[in-house]
A and B are shown apart, each in its own frame.
Chain A
Amino acid sequence: EDQVTQSPEALRLQEGESSSLNCSYTVSGLRGLFWYRQDPGKGPEFLFTLYSAGEEKEKERLKATLTKKESFLHITAPKPEDSATYLCAVQATSGTYKYIFGTGTRLKVLA
């Protein structure tokens, strides 16, 4: 069964304290892995797509990486405005139109 697991569930960081969020996945074949940011009371906002192991994408303080079993979202020198829930999703080759979401990591960055 296709599955996505995110860890930790919640993370508190001091401003400037770098860390990583993990997304482990089990799929028969990976078509794409997606990272989203979700602010309270809003819809998920797209951040990155990764397609194959070894691929990396960067945007400001965020960097996403992908291996054959997991993805990491690295946050370098975070700021309070980076506080949000970060969601990971995969699209498997077996289900062209379906996306499987993890339950997210709630990140709080303290000033």
Chain B
Amino acid sequence: DAGVIQSPRHEVTEMGQEVTLRCKPISGHDYLFWYRQTMMRGLELLIYFNNNVPIDDSGMPEDRFSAKMPNASFSTLKIQPSEPRDSAVYFCASSFGVVGYNEQFFGPGTRLTVL
């Protein structure tokens, strides 16, 4: 298995532009998570899905952030418009079964820089 796949690996954009991050979870996994990692705030859960349905989006910082999971093999995290404070590493993770019981598998991350 290729593991969790994220694209792009690096993204540099200018303030105000739309940014779309993509994630392909491990086949057969029914949970998908989006995290953000910064030096100041550490690792933060933004949103997670179960069977393609958003379950908890309380970590999404503001309306500029949105996430979708149109099918079991694809999810996007969109920031529109982007701001410099959105600069971070964004991780996607997936797991199977009861969350918190089974481990999450993380992708390599997307390093976002907003100028």
Partners in one complex: no
Interface residues of A (CB under 8 A from B): none
